[in-house]
């Protein structure tokens, strides 16, 4: 994949560039701030933009604002955000737009190279990849809502993994249940969240958005 990278830590940036190159990806830009990333995306149109949340000049939310700008101006470019913290407001905004091709990982997750590369490929292919801790905190903020109270503990676990971007097969493997059992839970979630089948919308995505936005 063609990737643009923005990370103000030169050491981490160089490490990611080498890792991505070794995995066969083409890093078309490796920059240290959000403005340079936006210029690179406009110039090179990568398939994925990987970016830090906090970058110069204020080291607050430059990266997340750049991620939202990329999603608005170039929706064909997938975005994978790396952060040391869960920025709930921006994470929710990333999800409540079109969540296809969006990821949000905590930087600790990058240490697990396999997990990071899996998330990168998933996001680049138009899927989603959200750190379990991000999902946990977003769901905790909505745990008082009625839709959540209708779900069983197992259905909540399935929805947690759906929100992280896992397929039914992957969910089944992690919960040690069959794929048909997962499909049964997913259909129960759709029913309990009052999501009728419509040809124009993905009930899977609607379930995640409804769950997090309630």
CATH number of the domain to which 181 belongs: 1.10.10.10
Assess whether 68 and 167 both reside in one domain.
no
Assess whether 132 and 159 both reside in one domain.
no
Which tokens belong to 74? Answer: 């170039």
What mean pLDDT is predicted for residues 165-193?
Answer: 90
Assess whether 138 and 175 both reside in one domain.
no
Summarised one tens digit per residue, pLDDT across range 23-74 is 999 999 999 999 999 999 999 999 999 999 888 888 888 888 899 899 989 9
Over its C-alpha atoms, the chain yields an Rg (Å, rounded) of 17
**Measured distance CA(102)–CA(35) in Å, rounded:** 20
pTM of the model: 0.68
Assess whether 101 and 202 both reside in one domain.
no
147 touches 104 (CB < 8 A): no
Which residues span the domain enclosing 123? 2-143
């Amino acid at each position: 994949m063609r990737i643009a990278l923005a990370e103000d830590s030169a050491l981490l940036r160089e490490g990611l560039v080498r890792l991505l190159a070794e995995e066969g990806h083409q890093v078309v830009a490796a920059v240290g701030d959000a403005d340079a990333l936006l210029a690179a995306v406009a110039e090179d149109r990568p398939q994925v933009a990987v970016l830090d949340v906090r970058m110069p000049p204020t080291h607050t939310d430059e990266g997340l604002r750049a991620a939202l700008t990329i999603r608005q101006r170039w929706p064909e470019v997938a975005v994978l955000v790396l952060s040391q913290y869960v920025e709930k407001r921006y994470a929710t905004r990333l999800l409540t737009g079109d969540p296809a091709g969006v990821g949000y990982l905590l930087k600790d997750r990058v240490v697990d190279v396999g997990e990071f590369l899996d998330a990168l490929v998933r996001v680049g292919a138009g899927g989603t990849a959200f750190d379990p801790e991000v999902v946990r905190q977003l769901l905790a903020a909505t745990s008082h809502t009625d839709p959540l109270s209708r779900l069983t503990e197992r259905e909540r676990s399935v929805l947690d993994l759906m929100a992280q971007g896992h397929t039914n097969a992957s969910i089944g493997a992690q919960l040690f249940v069959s794929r048909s059992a997962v499909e049964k839970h997913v259909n129960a979630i759709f029913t309990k969240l009052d999501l009728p089948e419509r040809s124009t919308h993905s009930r899977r995505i609607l379930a995640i958005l409804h769950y997090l936005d309630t």
